[in-house]
A and B are shown apart, each in its own frame.
Chain A
Amino acid sequence: MDKKLFRKADMIIILAVLLIAGVFLLWQYSSGDNLRAVITVDGKIVETLDLDKVTGKKVIVPDTSPKVKIVAEKGSIRFDEAECRDKLCVSRGKLYRKGDTAVCLPSKTVITITGGSVDAMTY
């Protein structure tokens, strides 16, 4: 009798664990599907955005010198303006796929779309 009860309890625990694991995996999978952009200044995260949920134009001006203006729209993000001379970050264009990265060296600002399908970018 005792043994039977024990097995039942075991099954409940196993099912509960599986359920939690399943929910966790589902949550990971669903949030991993969205395009998420991370903006860092000198290695510190200053803004995280879900690019699938951006409505209209979202302008971000982090506290940097020289100043940079970042524009996020649904599905993409880019350096829109920079006060530095060469403006190479602006010339890098739109980021729209996982793993895309753009760097503004003078202001130490990096935009990355996380969850990249590549381990690194060579440029």
Chain B
Amino acid sequence: MQADMKKFILPVCGALILGVVIFAVVFFGGSDVSKDIFAMDTYVNIRVKGRNAQKSADIIETLVNNLDKDVLSRQSKDSYIYQLNSENGGKSAKNMSAYFGMLFEIAQKSNGKFDFTLGALSDLWGFGKNPAVPDKKEIETVLSKCGWEKVTIEHQQISFPEGLKLDLGAAGKGIALDEIKTYLESTKIREAVISLGGSILLYGKRDYTVGIANPENSSTNFAVLTLPASCVSTSGNYERFFEEDGKRYHHILDPETGYPVDNGIVSVTVVSQNGTFSDILSTACFAMGLEDGMALAKEYNCGIVVITEGKKVYVSDDLKDSIEIRDGSYTIVE
């Protein structure tokens, strides 16, 4: 009898230990959750791994929706930006002051090439609705009412003249990524990849691979970056555009001319520890042009990849070992 018992001790113990290990892995390791939603006027993919992953993914979805509806949207009548725009100012919201600080800072550093006050100009072009090339005189009239230097913040009060409309479109996705990152840091989530319409948060202690869209066929990538936890944003002239009389007009507007930026740049990708900076700088560096744009990214310790016409690729020193070109028709310029 005893011999029979002994016979079973080993396999039973083994099975028990295996059971405990599997339970521990499932319980403490958490599951892998992927969620697709449409929010902030774009496609959002939420992927989280760790304890309570499903709950965290749901919270992130709510966070993005609320941030858009209550704060950033220019269309939602309940949003903070909508109210500021309809009353030519208002109280400076506490949770937004740091982000406004960054917007002003980059507007100044880019000598106004980056401007978060072009809402009325963007409306005139009809991006997102019925885009068409506006009359030149109309552009001049609207442009004369835009300009970040016309916005003041004093005693926690924001004010700007009538006709000027704030547009946080170039920062909104980055702001959302930073808010998501702050939330994730309060959870037991180990890894997360949040893609907000092409602006990405990489979260967790491992290296990630990020494909940079091929401007000629943006559903596929022209190069791949291998990066640790960080935020990545791209601004490209292929992303939102329309064609009129055989000419292509994209959505990144030049605050000096009122027309789409035309400086030979096709796309700019910026890697930063901060989502808002990566988002703002991708637009700012696009508008500033190759040399000034790369210099600004360096000033902020951000990695940058610029594609110019002729399929030339310029890469900041810190990313040279992280980039792998997948489409041989693009060449890195040393």
Contacts and interface: CB of A to CB of B under 8 A. Distances in A.
A108 B209 contact: no
Interface majority SS (helix, strand, loop, mixed), chain B:
strand
Contacts of A103: 43
Interface string A72-103: 00000010000001101001111111011111
Contacts of A100: 219-221
A117 to B, nearest CB: 7
Interface in B28-73: 35-38, 41-43, 45
A94 B219 contact: yes
B238 A91 contact: yes
A120 B219 contact: no
Contacts of B212: 121-123
A91 B36 CA distance: 22
Which of B35, B37, B45 has most chain A Cβ within 10 Å?
Answer: B45
Interface string B227-269: 0000011101011111000000000000000000000000001
Contacts of B220: 93-97, 100
A2 B234 CA distance: 69
A123 B43 CA distance: 12
12 contacts: A2-B7, A78-B219, A93-B220, A100-B219, A100-B220, A101-B219, A105-B41, A117-B209, A120-B45, A120-B193, A122-B210, A122-B213
Interface of B: 3, 7, 11, 35-38, 41-43, 45, 130-131, 193, 195, 198-200, 202, 208-213, 216-221, 224, 232-234, 236, 238-242, 269
Given A85-B130, A118-B209, A120-B200, 4 more contacts: A96-B220, A105-B41, A111-B219, A119-B208
